[in-house]
Structure 1
Amino acid sequence: MLGGTLDTLPLVVDLDGTLVRTDMLHETSLRVLRDTPWDLWRIPVWLPQGKAVVKQNLATRARFDPQHLPYHEPLLAWLREQKAAGRKLVLCTASDMAVAQSVAGHLGIFDEVMASDGSQNLGGKVKAASLVERYGDRGFDYVGNSTADIPVWRHSRRAIVVNAPAALAVKAGGLCEVEKVFPGLPMGLRVWGRVLRVHQWLKNLLLFMPLLAAHELGNSGAWMALVLAFVSFSLCASSVYIFNDLLDLESDRAHPRKKARPFAAGAVPVWKGLVLSVALLAASYGLATRVGGNFLPWLSFYFVLTCAYSWILKRLMLVDCLALAMLYTVRVVAGAAAAGLSLSFWLLAFSVFLFLSLSFVKRYAELEVQLHSGKRKAHGRGYYTTDAPLVQTLGITAGYGAVLVLALYLNSDAVLRLYGTPEIMWGAVPVLLFWVSWMWMQAHRGKMHDDPLVFAVKDKASLAAGVAFALVLALGSLGWNW
């Protein structure tokens, strides 16, 4: 609308990367990979028949909720203003017609839908020719985001450039008048740090637990192996986190906090995540071969288990928490393998109970968030929000089980052998009791982060408990004359 008069020319809007901050071909491929991965082997059969056939087959096999797609909200708000002013809106996309109609039906602002139909892939020059045939040369304005839209802008009256670099707006301006520019989301170091989840690397410090528990702090060879193992495990973990985020896009978008994650929000393209995930995994395995010992098999076990968690286990009630506890515990076992140390029964039992409690904390916190959002069932999980009290009970019981294992360990022969003043070690029991109780109290009050270990390293009470625990261990090790 210019000069307060109704603009009679239709406004044609692209879908992928424009109206939504993602590519629906990538999205449908991921959903097929997650739900029916065996169908991906049919792509080489479909591809000779044309890209439109591939899109149609993937669209018929992939279920998605258009409500949770990462829409470009400023653009969407402007389109609604245009619609309210009486302008004709057309959704024109290279995505399959089933996908386009689903999005158009949800938004309710489009008068027409043009899309790939299984025989013709409506992109680039084909899209431009179809629009010229329907509306005439310079008979429409076009909203696009990529170089594939240049043939369309060549025949448009005006261009609206979305989610694109400044150079593309300049190119579009050389073909037609640029009416508006809608910037994309930033992709700085902070965003990539969130993609890699660098803060989650703190969990991999668990690799050093066997070294500390065995009182082998002076073993320089073990330290070198563990540092290399830490980097390898961190790269592998980041690879898995990325892959998990890609498979869990819909659930993350339905979550009040997780919807801001880079892939869920559309800040980082899906294809970049896939490439980065493979590259990180390759680098991780390259480093793992230099660690030696049995580290590589345990790293492989972690990778297989976490993939199983991403695909299946996280949707199974209780099994998901057991799997999470195992993923924590495997880090401890892998650390012992990297350092060439035998794993203590006490350390293993303590780890299983403690990490099971933390896994239940994580799930309980998620259920509480969903409950307060008015949800009856946790999206993509096997729990109802009414299960929260029982999950809380199971988690507290597991946490106190870890305290019991610690108390029994303090009465064992190993403590007499490793600690100069074993009596002081009993001070670790009330410290751990406080911390487990404190974590669950914070979860009950709705203050828990999605990851309890991340919460703990930022929480003053948890840090104080950690210092007190370390001090007790140090005094018990060095000995203290009463």
Structure 2
Amino acid sequence: MIAPVFFSLRPKQWIKNLILFAALMFSEKGLLLEPMAWLYAFAGFLIFCGLSGSVYLLNDIADVEKDRLHPKKSLRPIAAGELSMTEGKAALIVILLISLVAAYNLSQLFFFMALAYFMLNLAYSFKLKNVVILDVMCIAAGFVLRATAGVGSLKGLEPSIYISHWLILSTMMLAMFLGLAKRRQEIATYQDEAVLHRKILAQYSLSFIDQMTSILAAMAIVTYSFYTVSADTIAKFGSDKLVYTVPMVLYGILRYLYLIHIQDQGENPSEVVMRDRPLQINLVIWAIAVVIIIHFSKSGWFNF
């Protein structure tokens, strides 16, 4: 039973929870260099892996009949009969309770974000996933809650830590962009049968999605650019050099557009990132640049 439950938690999707560590990257109090801060952030990461895993279990239980018609989803433990519905429900309750209790003990903000994340996914699973546009907005809101939870995980060490409104908007736009790219690839791959796998796809078309992804890609770049040059950001980090990371964000989004339009990828954003070497290299370079500019430029190590 342990192996089927583990695979039902979708460990490959846990990469999405790495956004919780963004709070460390964008902290101005030197938390990035404190081992205790990493411990708190890692605890938050594990809790959200449990929470997101319980959401995946919930979806597998609710969509078991549809999953059995899908070429890939039919291999999931519940759909394949490797994990019974009773065992799946029991695992869901246990993992959810453990995750929420752990979240409560981390910080008040973290607990509220964790609870809001699960309630949002509950609404998504049973209602909002069938409401056009709101379905993708729910997915994006989940990433915003994760990012805010990352801040909440560090509240015990630094009560004044916060997340910029520009960064929240940028996260929202990027997450919606990725969510719509996923919808696009599902329609392109399954065509007339797409609606059998996801009912809401009947409300989308490739041209409609392409228009929205273009808008959201532009908005993600613009909001991140505004974040890097805002007076609050410059005052917070004591540097105006974060703007130099904008080209990396621009390349990353354009590369992703290339992958979905030319290479016909994008159905699973996590797998796209894990497979595409240029995207990985760009992400690493961006992360290194952000860390150097925020945490080392003021020390004189990289004073430029």
TM-score normalized with structure 2 length: 0.87
Matched, 1:236 2:51: yes
Alignment equivalent of 2:183, drawn from 348, 352, 363: 363
Offset of residue 310 of structure 1 = 0.7
Alignment equivalent of 1:348, drawn from 163, 168, 172: 168
Corresponding position of 2:25:
212
Report the CA distance shift for 1:227/1:298 in structure 2 as closer, same or farther (over 3 A).
same
Matched, 1:296 2:111: yes
Indicate if the aligned counterparts of 1:207 and 1:226 stay in contact, CA closer than 8 A.
yes
Q: What does 1:18-417 correspond to in 2, within 5 Å? A: 189=3, 191-215=4-28, 216-340=31-155, 341-371=161-191, 374-375=192-193, 377-384=195-202, 387-417=205-235
Aligned partner letter, 2:226:
L
Q: Secondary structure of the residue that 2:108 maps to in structure 1?
A: coil
Indicate if the aligned counterparts of 1:365 and 1:446 stay in contact, CA closer than 8 A.
no
Indicate if the aligned counterparts of 2:132 and 2:203 stay in contact, CA closer than 8 A.
no
Aligned partner letter, 2:261:
H
Indicate if the aligned counterparts of 1:420 and 1:476 stay in contact, CA closer than 8 A.
no
Indicate if the aligned counterparts of 1:400 and 1:436 stay in contact, CA closer than 8 A.
no
Report the CA distance shift for 1:402/1:428 in structure 2 as closer, same or farther (over 3 A).
same
Report the CA distance shift for 1:396/1:333 in structure 2 as closer, same or farther (over 3 A).
same
Report the CA distance shift for 1:379/1:481 in structure 2 as closer, same or farther (over 3 A).
closer
Percent of counterpart pairs with the same letter? 25
Give CA-to-partner distance per residue, 1:117-164, whole Å, 9 cap, x none.
xxxxxxxxxxxxxxxxxxxxxxxxxxxxxxxxxxxxxxxxxxxxxxxx
Q: Normalized per residue, which structure has more helix?
A: 2
Q: Partners in 2 of 1:436 and 1:428 — Cα distance?
A: 13
Alignment equivalent of 1:459, drawn from 276, 279, 284: 276
Q: Partners in 2 of 1:206 and 1:385 — Cα distance?
A: 30
Aligned partner letter, 1:199:
K
Q: Partners in 1 of 2:213 and 2:260 — Cα distance?
A: 11
Indicate if the aligned counterparts of 2:166 and 2:227 stay in contact, CA closer than 8 A.
yes
Indicate if the aligned counterparts of 1:365 and 1:443 stay in contact, CA closer than 8 A.
yes
Aligned partner letter, 1:473:
V
Alignment equivalent of 2:260, drawn from 429, 443, 449: 443
Indicate if the aligned counterparts of 1:255 and 1:370 stay in contact, CA closer than 8 A.
no
Q: Partners in 2 of 1:400 and 1:386 — Cα distance?
A: 20
Give CA-to-partner distance per residue, 1:83-136, whole Å, 9 cap, x none.
xxxxxxxxxxxxxxxxxxxxxxxxxxxxxxxxxxxxxxxxxxxxxxxxxxxxxx
Q: Partners in 2 of 1:225 and 1:396 — Cα distance?
A: 37
- Number of positions where the alignment pairs a residue of Structure 1 with one of Structure 2: 292
Aligned partner letter, 2:183:
R
Aligned partner letter, 2:151:
A
Indicate if the aligned counterparts of 1:421 and 1:475 stay in contact, CA closer than 8 A.
no
Indicate if the aligned counterparts of 1:378 and 1:385 stay in contact, CA closer than 8 A.
no
Offset of residue 421 of structure 1 = 5.5
Q: Partners in 2 of 1:464 and 1:245 — Cα distance?
A: 34
Offset of residue 459 of structure 1 = 2.0
Indicate if the aligned counterparts of 1:368 and 1:388 stay in contact, CA closer than 8 A.
yes
Aligned partner letter, 1:352:
M
Q: Normalized per residue, which structure has more strand?
A: 1
RMSD of aligned C-alpha atoms?
A: 2.3
Q: Secondary structure of the residue that 1:256 maps to in structure 2?
A: coil
Indicate if the aligned counterparts of 1:350 and 1:405 stay in contact, CA closer than 8 A.
yes
Give CA-to-partner distance per residue, 1:280-300, whole Å, 9 cap, x none.
111112212221232112111
Report the CA distance shift for 1:447/1:257 in structure 2 as closer, same or farther (over 3 A).
farther
Report the CA distance shift for 1:234/1:437 in structure 2 as closer, same or farther (over 3 A).
same
Report the CA distance shift for 1:474/1:227 in structure 2 as closer, same or farther (over 3 A).
closer
Q: Partners in 2 of 1:293 and 1:188 — Cα distance?
A: 31
Aligned partner letter, 1:343:
I
Q: Partners in 2 of 1:391 and 1:456 — Cα distance?
A: 21
Offset of residue 449 of structure 1 = 5.0
Aligned partner letter, 1:275:
A
Q: Partners in 1 of 2:209 and 2:90 — Cα distance?
A: 37
Indicate if the aligned counterparts of 2:5 and 2:88 stay in contact, CA closer than 8 A.
no
Offset of residue 452 of structure 1 = 0.6
Q: 296-305 or 334-343: which moved more? A: 334-343
Indicate if the aligned counterparts of 1:396 and 1:437 stay in contact, CA closer than 8 A.
no
Q: Partners in 2 of 1:351 and 1:334 — Cα distance?
A: 13
Corresponding position of 2:158:
none
Offset of residue 312 of structure 1 = 0.9
